[in-house]
Amino acid sequence: MTRSTIELPVTADDYRIARYAAAAIALTVAEAALPSPLPGIKPGLANIIVLVVLTRYGWHDAAWVSLLRVVAGSLVIGQFLAPGFFLALAGALCSLGVLALAQHLPPRFFGPVSASVLAAFAHIGGQIALARVWLVPHDGVFYLLPLFATAALVFGTINGLVAARLLAIPVAAPVTTPATPPSVKAAS
Amino acid sequence: MNERIPDPAPGRPKAGPSGPGAGDDREPPSPPFPERGLGGKHTDLLRELLAHATGDGHLPWRRLLKPGDWLLLVCAAALVAASYPLLWRGGVADRAIVRRDGQLVTELALNIPRKYAVAGAIGTTVIEVQPGRARVLSDPGPRQYCVQQGWLTRANAVAICAPNHVTLQLAGRSGQNGGYDTLNY
């Protein structure tokens, strides 16, 4: 009945991050429907979005999108605070750390594919490290490392190629139109 | 699926699929909620992603790779390939360590089949070694746990015959592994 008196100031950056995070969450949910041969081996399609955001808007936005994706994606799937959530969080934090370094690679020689492969390895590294420390306190998890590393290489390359192809498209305009925030505000 | 018309960007429809997908794109005739900006933008982004991932008329895939990318991919592939034998060989045992009361009795190489008898607290434990594996063949203990454990094949695997105070442990190639409960790489 009464209008909410709490007005949170929302900037254009927030809308942009929210849009990308929504796309990443959608990919996470779609990916959750795919059967996986081994727990932990996933294409990681949402990382395409993170790579695009990293290249277009920098690490800060990419970190927001990645972490929002982990939290909200797990809420949607129903895995929030389940072991899979913490594994995903560990992987996301590790890959963000690596991406923070990888974005300083000379862009003349290194494209999104390098960042994607490095981030994929960091992702799987963080997950295995957490699994070893917390979930499976036995060295047996390391016997699976070659399989995980292979998956990281393959999917990292594919995701990087997709991100590179998306970034090669000259139109960044539809997602950065400054006209959106007022219209959204009016609708809400 | 809505708010496509006021989109000011001229490039997006052009960059979409020009073949059979283009007519599909225009199919929803009347957007029911024309001002739901976020949802429209969101689906537009996904649509953009899918259209461009499948559409043609782009750069060939290999043009997207820069020299450093190739270098990194080759290095990563080599590392991954190297990890296969490394990890699998690391788990292979090459000698059996027999202890009594924690004191080393003998070390048996796992390349020649043989049997070895150890005098323990209540009798004699017989260890059998075959290429790549070892087991406790017989033990005077009442419950025979270490005998029923069967063949040990992995490095750091242990069979403990507690009543007779005898243990059989396998060790891998890098000898220092045996002293650790856990390992991190």
ipTM value: 0.79
Instruction: Quote the tokens at residue A88.
Output: 């995903």
Check residue A184 and give its pLDDT.
44
Check residue B23 and give its pLDDT.
41
Q: Is the pLDDT of residue B42 over 90?
A: no
Question: Would you place residue A29 in the very low, low, confident or very high pLDDT band (cuts 50, 70, 90)?
Answer: very high
Check residue A7 and give its pLDDT.
81
Looking at chain A, the whole-number percentage of residues with pLDDT higher than 90 is 57
CATH number of the domain where residue B110 is located: 2.60.320.10
| Residue B86 and residue B109 in one domain | no
| Count: domains in chain B | 3
- What mean pLDDT do residues B154-160 have? 85
From A144's Cα to the closest Cα of chain B, the distance in A is 9
Q: Is the pLDDT of residue B3 over 70?
A: no
Q: Name which residue leads in pLDDT, A45 or B59.
A: A45
- What mean pLDDT do residues A103-123 have? 92
Distance of CA B115 to the CA centre of its chain: 36
Tens of pLDDT, residue by residue over B87-117, are 666 567 788 999 998 889 998 888 889 999 9
Question: Would you place residue B56 in the very low, low, confident or very high pLDDT band (cuts 50, 70, 90)?
Answer: low
| Residue B18 and residue B84 in one domain | no
Domains of chain A listed by start with CATH number: 12-170 (1.10.1760.20)
| Residue B108 and residue B171 in one domain | yes
Position B185 in a domain: no
| Residue B97 and residue B171 in one domain | yes
For residue A113, list chain B residues with Cβ-Cβ distance below 8 A. Answer: 64-66, 69, 72-73
| Residue B100 and residue B170 in one domain | yes
The residues facing B114 across adjacent strands are B129
From A19's Cα to the closest Cα of chain B, the distance in A is 6
| Residue B107 and residue B157 in one domain | yes
Nearest to B119 by CA among B145, B149, B140, B143: B140
Check residue A177 and give its pLDDT.
44
pTM: 0.62
Position B65 in a domain: yes
| Residue B83 and residue B99 in one domain | no
| Residue B41 and residue B79 in one domain | no
Residue-number span of the structural domain to which B47 is assigned: 11-54
Per-residue b/e over B41-71, b at no fewer than 16 CB within 10 Å? bbbbbbbbbebbeebeeeeeeeebbbebbee
Q: Among all residues of chain B, which has the CA nearest to that of A173?
A: B9
Question: Would you place residue A130 in the very low, low, confident or very high pLDDT band (cuts 50, 70, 90)?
Answer: very high
Furthest-apart CA pair in chain A: how many Å? 60
Position B6 in a domain: no
From A114's Cα to the closest Cα of chain B, the distance in A is 5
Any chain B CB within 8 A of the CB of A149? Answer: yes
Q: Is the pLDDT of residue A86 over 80?
A: yes
| Residue B99 and residue B159 in one domain | yes
Q: Name which residue leads in pLDDT, A145 or B25.
A: A145
